[in-house]
Amino acid sequence: MSALEAIRPSFYRVVSLPDILVGKVYLVGAGPGEPKLLTLRAVEVLGIADVVLFDGLANLDLQNFLRTRISKENTKLFNLNLNTVKSSSAATEAIPGTVTAPKVESSPGECEWISVGKHGSQRIWKQSEINDAIVHHAKLGKTVVRLKGGDTGIFARTGEELERIVSESIPFEVVPGITAASAVAAYAGIPITHRDWASAVALVTGHSQPSDGGPESDEAFDWDSIAAFPGTVVIYMGVTTVEDWSRRLILAGKSPETPVALVRRCSWPDQETTLCTLGEATDRMTPASKFRPPVLVVIGPVAHLGAPFNWFQKRPLFGKKILLCRPQDDSDGTAEELEALGATVYSQPALRVELPENWLELDYEIERLSQYQWVIFSSRFGVRALLDRIHSLGKDLRVLGNCRLAGVGPSIREELEKYQLRADMIAGSPFGAKALLHELLGITGGLTEKSADSRIRFLIVGNNRTDPFLGLELESGGFQVSTITAYRTLAVPYPAPLINEKLKAGSIDYCLATSPAIARRLVDWFGKELSKTKIASISPAVTAMFEGLELSNIVEAKEASIAGIVASIHNDCGLELDKTGDAS
């Protein structure tokens, strides 16, 4: 054993196994932070990984993004094409209503996410330890992803890892990512090249390279050349060494008045941008608690050009954290709409959608659909439940015959269109059973004993929680009504621990209450702790669910729709900005 091997930690011993068992290593750039800035290839690779070794600059929200993406591509929320009901217990363990998250300490068969060090929270691994870990897992036949913040080729020590991988004859692939300098140009609006101001860019590390286990070494930078560089200088990893590099640049002739932009956590929901001069940089970045890594420093005339172009931080809901409790559904664009406005969205379904306990009732009604004049859907899930079941029985849309189709909200129209069907009636604003009843009366002549026509039959496709109001009102007018439970919605008994912690810490700005059932779950989950956030309520009926808690922090939509509730949050944020401006 060599002297070097003797001092290395023993928790990763590289094993010698037959070559047939050797896995493959992917060196992957995670981009600057926003999960959607992953390349398509990076998503593919992470989807097949057995082990992910990630560093402190990789956003762990990538895990949630990947879980959602993979679940949408590989599974349905509930599979109604099956001819028998199957148990979904695996999906309801751990955190009910969500897909099981990758674990750092995982059991066989799961993807294992291993942190190799994060500033301020744990020991940062030596490069030799990371190299050993990569080889160790690969020689066990695993698919290993070494996930790095930014790009694999920019200050990522990829070369050292490649040297070790090649020396061990392990197959590998390098997947590039968006580096921080490119992200700053896009997300902070700073054009690091500009026809009038900068035709060249220099990327410089502000953190000189330490030897494993040794003190910081002094890189032989030619500070005179860097100071005289005719373009934009971008410094990576320069927080803890700001006093040193700023002093050296000034001593080398760079003017203390040179414009500087400090961009922290570029593309993350809490991105910060500070404009100053080179002479002010040290004061703006120290002590470390003022401006924690990751920070990118842009030095040069272009640094102060970004203010009017900083679209990211100017979005109306930027920095707001919103809890969305609607059932997970890839056709529901609520989260995407809120994110486009700048919000950070946490998804914690209050209800989970499941198959009916048996198919007998639904199959019976499908066989006699031709007897109905109207089929009314209470939700988009009902549309899916009925039409997918028709298909699984070997039938097609002809079984609907001359049935007219109605629904209580615009999502039902959209869902029907996916099946090449058009709705005959969708309840107007405000959406709901009362509005639909009113419109039905308009075409049936009203619910009077004289005009009620017993030949008009209604089939209401709902679930185990469907409000009986509409069916009872139609029956009271003499119409024939059948209501079926086409799917079930079950209450999620408790939120994920992370969501619970964030709400109780006051870290969530708004909780969306889009139905009475969701409002009830919020009350059961959090009780009076809801006073630490704002409730965005979709209607007076939903607002009433919170009356027992005597909450005064409720923002109610003027229109009972998702668009209405988003508008109410938007307006409330505008009022907050006005108050802040008045106070200042």
**Which residue, 464, 491, 518, sits at the end of a domain?**
491
Nearest to 235 by CA among 198, 287, 278: 278
pLDDT in tens, 331-374: 567 888 898 899 988 889 999 899 998 999 999 999 999 899 99
Nearest to 480 by CA among 439, 452, 449, 442: 452
| Residues 289, 234 within the same domain | yes
Q: Which of 347-351, 452-456, 558-562 has the highest mean pLDDT?
A: 347-351
pLDDT in tens, 132-143: 999 999 999 999
d(CA 14, CA 17): 9
Active site residues: 55, 118, 237
pLDDT score, position 313: 92
Total domain count, the chain: 4
Residue 148 has phi, psi (to 5 degrees) of -120, 145
Strands across the sheet with 143-148, in order? 112-115, 51-54, 143-148, 24-29, 172-175
Residues facing residue 480 across a β-bridge: 457
**Which residue, 454, 474, 491, sits at the end of a domain?**
491
| Residues 389, 270 within the same domain | no
Cβ contacts of 113-116, under 8 Å, gap ≥ 24: 113/52, 113/54, 113/63, 114/51, 114/52, 114/53, 114/54, 115/54, 115/55, 115/56, 116/53, 116/54, 116/55
Chain-centroid distance, C-alpha 116: 23
Assign residue 263 the CATH number of its domain: 3.30.950.10
Structural domain harbouring 535: 321-350+493-583
What does the pLDDT average to over 426-434? 70
Which residue is listed with tokens 């003190």?
Answer: 215
pLDDT in tens, 289-304: 677 888 999 999 999 9
Assign residue 110 the CATH number of its domain: 3.40.1010.10
| Residues 331, 195 within the same domain | no
pLDDT in tens, 400-427: 988 999 998 778 898 999 999 999 998 8
The pLDDT of residue 451 is above 90? no
Whole-model pTM above 0.75?
A: no
pLDDT in tens, 12-70: 555 554 545 789 999 999 999 888 899 999 999 998 999 999 987 666 667 767 766 65
pLDDT score, position 64: 67
**DSSP per residue, 244-262:** HHHHHHHHTT--TT-EEEE
pLDDT score, position 289: 67
Both tokens of residue 104? 């750092």
Band the pLDDT of 102: cuts 50, 70, 90.
Answer: very low
Number of H helices, E strands in the chain: 21, 21
| Residues 440, 497 within the same domain | no
The CA R_g of the chain, rounded to the nearest whole Å, is 29
pLDDT score, position 582: 43
**Which residue, 491, 506, 536, sits at the end of a domain?**
491
Residues near 1 by beta carbon (within 8 Å), at least 6 away in sequence = none
Among the ranges given (104-113, 394-403, 553-562), the one the predictor scored with the smallest mean pLDDT: 104-113
| Residues 438, 291 within the same domain | no
The pLDDT of residue 547 is above 90? no
Residues 32 and 61 sit within 8 Å (Cβ to Cβ):
no
d(CA 134, CA 142): 10
**Which is more confidently placed, 98 or 167?**
167
Helices (H), 305-424: 311-314, 334-340, 360-367, 380-392, 410-418
Strands across the sheet with 201-205, in order? 201-205, 232-236, 295-299, 259-264, 272-277
- Mean pLDDT of the residues in the chain: 81
| Residues 326, 295 within the same domain | no
| Residues 231, 304 within the same domain | yes
